[in-house]
Structure 1
Amino acid sequence: MDFTKLLEKLKADIYLIVSDLLIIIIVFAIARFFISQISKFTSRAIEKSKELEDKEQAKSIVTSMTMLRSVIRYVIYFIAIAIILYKLGFGNVMSNLLVTAGIGSLAISFGAQSVIQDVVTGLFLIFERQYAVGDLVKIGEHLGIVTSIAMRVTYLDCKGTKVIIPNGKISEVINYTNTHSMFELTIPVSYKENIREAIDFIKDILNKYYNENKELFIEEPVVFGATNFNVNAVDIYMRGKVVNMKHWQIERELRVIIKEEMDKKGLYIPFTQIVVHNEK
């Protein structure tokens, strides 16, 4: 008789264990389902933002969607853990939420302060709009394009290399993405050349380039003239306000054009030479 009761009790216990396991699996499945739906929603929003003419608004949408995806993922897992604790017999859901938060506080005291710092810094980065997805930034020694901003980390594409930077480690950001850029170029000219003729010659080259590529410029560029006496050359300096991120292209093209034109005219670009005397 006692043996029969024991079997019945074991059956009941097994039934409870299996049912709890099934519920836990279902909770995880539901959590994964919601996360996948949020990912699809944010992905669709990001794709639609590419069709917007206002690029700043598009970048803002992409940044918001990547952060939303990260925040909701943490919230869903947080709730799922609380429900699982409840099914395992550890109080009710609300108390488990508090317990989970308490465990988080305990973790902080044992060295997880950096995690909280990363999350808080990430939120400030978004609210203060220090940078957005798609911006070219320099964070520490890393120069790259922001591909994603999550609650804890920022992802950079540095010439094809994926760099992950904890938000709490970000103390200084240089954002090269703005409404405009400035191109600057210094051309060295030999002391033996007529400096006024050299300046006028470079002005003509710059004006011709400007007239042929006005879509790259916001304002007409200026040659400021001789700005420095170097060891073996006089520096001729030019500068101009250009379309955002086009300054590197303009500088590269102008260097080639000016070098070719100076070669045609016979203007000498000085360079450092070493003379070796062989005394016997």
Structure 2
Amino acid sequence: METYTAQDATEKVSTDVDDAVNGVTTWWNDPATHEMLVTRPLKILLILVIAIVLSRLAKRIITRATKRGIESQKAILERSGPVDSPQIRTREARRQQRMKTLSNVGRSVAAIIIWTWAALAILDQLGVNVAPLIASAGVVGVAIGFGAQSLVKDFFSGMFILLENQYGVGDTIEVNGVTGEVEDMTLRITTLRDIDGALWYIRNGDIDQVGNHSVRFSTARLQIPVSLMADPDKVSRVIEESARAAIKDPEIRDKVMAPPQMLGPSEFAPNYVSFRLTVKTFPGEQWAVARHLNQRILADLHKQHVVLTPMDSVLVEHKENHGH
């Protein structure tokens, strides 16, 4: 029977330890082990650090550029004169809203691009073949594009509306048969408040034509009907003098950009003729100016005993026939 001494046991343990150490050393020195435990984790960590730095850098650059653009325009306005005009404030608020919206879009696009690259790079380091994923993403993107064409159309239309500065928050626009003030706008939806207080949500992709009443200037156009019995020269003179006096009233004098223009008779009917008057106003103020002018002109026509309606002409003939 074979016996083991203490020395034999010690030698065996020593041999086993040496074998274990050699095995660990061989495993550790294996390039595959270094690749899996050291190189790949370090590369993944580096990718994450680069993505975080790029994301923050892009966000900072876009935010700073937006802030500088807003401040530079403010400085230009301050150098050019007072900025307490409501029209200037509205235009500046619209421009700032547009720049902020574009800034948000830019930050989102930058983040999507950076982190998509980071995810693909990490998967590649983990040994995943990203080529099929990219191809599959392309197919899925095409499928989503076909399935959500209206949504994609809304976003692209909203992007071009912002880039081309077609309208902004605070503008009065006419679109799809609705006229109202823009309360909010995103890349997908434009929100309008009409004259009756109704809030309309209009998808940007459904907008084919839009009329903006708040760009540069507006025109108050008045059509003033009077009887065919009225003296046209007197009517033109009264209307023009009344309009020129009315634009000096405190209610509208800050809303008018140029003196009124009397265009004369513009429409004939069997029982009346319509005189046209136009006034150049600040953007979006044409309705208030037109209402005020209508009231003043009507009052002045009555004061000058101008025949306004067929009934007025009947009364005039009656008085003349009776010697009044």
Q: TM-score, structure 2 length as denominator?
A: 0.57
8 Å Cα contact 2:230/2:308 also seen in 1? no
Question: How far, CA to CA, are the matches of 1:124 and 1:106 in structure 2?
Answer: 24
In structure 2, what is the equivalent of residue 30 of structure 1? Answer: none
Which of 182, 188, 191 in structure 2 is aligned with 1:152?
A: 188
**Are 1:241 and 2:280 counterparts?**
yes
Tell me how far 1:70 sits from its aligned partner. Answer: 5.5
Which of 122, 143, 146 in structure 1 is aligned with 2:158?
A: 122
8 Å Cα contact 1:63/1:149 also seen in 2? no
- 3-state SS of 1:216 partner: coil
In structure 2, what is the equivalent of residue 139 of structure 1? Answer: 175
Tell me how far 1:166 sits from its aligned partner. Answer: 2.0
Unaligned runs of 5+ in 1: 1-33, 274-280
- Decide whether aligned partners of structure 1 residues 94 and 211 sit closer, same or farther in structure 2, where only a CA change above 3 A counts: farther
Question: How far, CA to CA, are the matches of 1:92 and 1:267 in structure 2?
Answer: 89
- Decide whether aligned partners of structure 1 residues 94 and 241 sit closer, same or farther in structure 2, where only a CA change above 3 A counts: farther
Percent of residue pairs identical: 22
Which of 124, 142, 145 in structure 2 is aligned with 1:105?
A: 142
**Are 1:222 and 2:258 counterparts?**
no
In structure 1, what is the equivalent of residue 200 of structure 2? Answer: 163
Question: How far, CA to CA, are the matches of 2:161 and 2:265 in structure 1?
Answer: 42
Tell me how far 1:71 sits from its aligned partner. Answer: 6.2
Could you tell me which amino acid in structure 2 is paired with residue 177 of structure 1?
S
Question: How far, CA to CA, are the matches of 1:146 and 1:92 in structure 2?
Answer: 49
8 Å Cα contact 1:137/1:145 also seen in 2? yes
Instruction: Give the RMSD, CA atoms, in angstroms.
Output: 3.9
Unaligned runs of 5+ in 2: 1-55, 75-82, 313-324
Tell me how far 1:182 sits from its aligned partner. Answer: 1.0
1:66-105 counterparts in 2 under 5 A? 66-69=101-104, 72=107, 102-105=139-142
**Are 1:183 and 2:252 counterparts?**
no
8 Å Cα contact 1:146/1:154 also seen in 2? yes
8 Å Cα contact 2:161/2:167 also seen in 1? yes
- Decide whether aligned partners of structure 1 residues 229 and 162 sit closer, same or farther in structure 2, where only a CA change above 3 A counts: closer
Tell me how far 1:67 sits from its aligned partner. Answer: 4.4
Question: How far, CA to CA, are the matches of 1:133 and 1:271 in structure 2?
Answer: 46
Which of 95, 101, 107 in structure 2 is aligned with 1:60?
A: 95
Could you tell me which amino acid in structure 2 is paired with residue 129 of structure 1?
N
Question: How far, CA to CA, are the matches of 2:136 and 2:309 in structure 1?
Answer: 73
In structure 2, what is the equivalent of residue 206 of structure 1? Answer: 243
Cα deviation digits, residues 145-167 of structure 1 (max 9, x gap): 22333222222233433322222
Cα deviation digits, residues 64-83 of structure 1 (max 9, x gap): 32344466568768959x97
Tell me how far 1:272 sits from its aligned partner. Answer: 8.5
Deviates more, 1:70-79 or 1:143-152: 70-79
Question: How far, CA to CA, are the matches of 1:97 and 1:162 in structure 2?
Answer: 43
In structure 1, what is the equivalent of residue 295 of structure 2? Answer: 256
- 3-state SS of 2:280 partner: strand
Question: How far, CA to CA, are the matches of 2:290 and 2:157 in structure 1?
Answer: 36
Question: How far, CA to CA, are the matches of 1:74 and 1:210 in structure 2?
Answer: 50
Could you tell me which amino acid in structure 1 is paired with residue 96 of structure 2?
I
In structure 2, what is the equivalent of residue 14 of structure 1? Answer: none
Cα deviation digits, residues 122-175 of structure 1 (max 9, x gap): 221111111122211112122222233322222223343332222222111111
- Decide whether aligned partners of structure 1 residues 216 and 115 sit closer, same or farther in structure 2, where only a CA change above 3 A counts: closer
Count of residue pairs the alignment pairs up: 229
- Decide whether aligned partners of structure 1 residues 272 and 112 sit closer, same or farther in structure 2, where only a CA change above 3 A counts: farther
Q: Which has the larger radius of gyration?
A: 2
Question: How far, CA to CA, are the matches of 2:270 and 2:305 in structure 1?
Answer: 21
